[in-house]
Structure 1
Amino acid sequence: MHSNVQRVQQYFGFLTTVVLSLAVALSLTSIILDQFITVPSSSISLDTLNVRYGRPQIGYDTRRQEYAFMTFDLSADLSSLFNWNTKQLFVYVAATYPGRPYSNKIVVWDTIIRDKQDAYISLKNQTADYAIYDVTGKFNGRNATLSLEWNVQPYVGILTWNKSPEKTRITFPKFT
């Protein structure tokens, strides 16, 4: 009838089908569950914004340009984003400002949250991890908005991105 190799192949083929079906079911239930989660509230306030003119401290670029450093306060409760399928959250503060021909979006600060207990963020006078640069080399007094955004990374399923509706407007000073 069937050899032992054929029986093992049938067993693993059936096992693979069952595991794949369970993974699809888990992924669909987490997508449905995400529809009922309320967007967490947060607040961001800018403490200081320093714009400097000079050679950037990173990379091999030798041209002189404007770059900005900032400190900010942040409070957010992201514990509602955790469920049985959440592996971790990638949380970041993004600065968005207009440019030509598209708008610019730059990550200013980021962190990874792996536990629901660590999902409450309360930062005071936090220095931005990354400086803000513009492709043109000058900010020219443009307005920008700071917003808290996150990426939910599940054990099984698709990645989802979202952001807090609260935003903070900032204005880059004109460098003289």
Structure 2
Amino acid sequence: MFSTFQRIQQYCGFVTTVTVLLAASISIASLIEDHYFINIPSASINLQSIDVRFGKPQIGYNYKRQEYALMKFDLEADLRPLFTWNTKQLFVYLAATYPGKPYTNKVVVWDAIIKDKEEALISLRDATADYAIYDVTGKFNGRNATLSLEWNLQPYVGPLLWNKGAEREKFVFPPLKSTR
């Protein structure tokens, strides 16, 4: 009645349908769990120093000489509440946000990928920023800025979940000390 090829095709179609429905139900369940039951992790950021310099930094990739900022900070964060049964890994980063024309600038200064719940307890003392902060205009001119801890939760199945809020610290870019 049916050939072997038709039976294999029907079986593969059934398995694919069941797999898609299972993945969709896992995705919906994890979204509901994250939306209603997840705890906001605790974090503490303390900016130790920020130094505005002129020239080409050793950190980063830029050809022209301009103002850039380097910073040192302390970070204490407990991100273990973000790890659930559907969490594959967590991309965590410190972002500096400051006003610009015509847009607000957001620059990542430090980042880490956390793959285990045991690694999700972060304690950094006098850590140096991984990346220097540049501005399109080439000058900071004492602008107000905010340093915030943000994350991207990457599940096994489902959409990426972005930051739900964490500690923020406000600071002002200091003036340029010298142009040497």
Measured against the shorter chain, the TM-score band is over 0.9
CA 1:117 to 1:59, structure 2 compared with 1: closer, same or farther past 3 Å?
closer
Per-residue CA deviation, residues 58-93 of structure 1 (Å, 9 max, x unaligned), is 4352x3210011110000100000111000000000
Given that residues 41 and 79 in structure 2 are in contact (C-alpha distance below 8 angstroms), is that contact kept between their aligned partners in structure 1? Answer: yes
Per-residue CA deviation, residues 126-159 of structure 1 (Å, 9 max, x unaligned), is 1100000000000000011000000000000000
Displacement over 4 Å in runs of 4+: none
CA 1:60 to 1:106, structure 2 compared with 1: closer, same or farther past 3 Å?
closer
TM (normalized to structure 2)?
0.94
CA 1:74 to 1:163, structure 2 compared with 1: closer, same or farther past 3 Å?
farther
Percent identical: 64
1:46 matched residue in structure 2 = 47
Name structure 1 gaps, 5 residues minimum: none
Name the CA distance, whole Å, in 1 between partners of 2:17 and 2:101: 50
Q: Give the deviation of 1:55 after TM superposition.
A: 2.7
2:157 matched residue in structure 1 = 156
TM (normalized to structure 1)?
0.96
CA 1:162 to 1:59, structure 2 compared with 1: closer, same or farther past 3 Å?
closer
2:109 matched residue in structure 1 = 108
1:23 aligns with 2:17: no
Per-residue CA deviation, residues 10-33 of structure 1 (Å, 9 max, x unaligned), is 000000000110000000000000
Given that residues 147 and 168 in structure 2 are in contact (C-alpha distance below 8 angstroms), is that contact kept between their aligned partners in structure 1? Answer: yes
Name the CA distance, whole Å, in 1 between partners of 2:62 and 2:171: 29
Per-residue CA deviation, residues 152-171 of structure 1 (Å, 9 max, x unaligned), is 00000000101534211111
Name the CA distance, whole Å, in 2 between partners of 1:95 and 1:163: 17
1:11 matched residue in structure 2 = 11
2:68 matched residue in structure 1 = 67
Name the CA distance, whole Å, in 2 between partners of 1:12 and 1:59: 50
Name the CA distance, whole Å, in 1 between partners of 2:164 and 2:132: 21
Name the CA distance, whole Å, in 2 between partners of 1:174 and 1:45: 20
Q: CA RMSD in A?
A: 1.2
SS in 1 for 2:165: strand
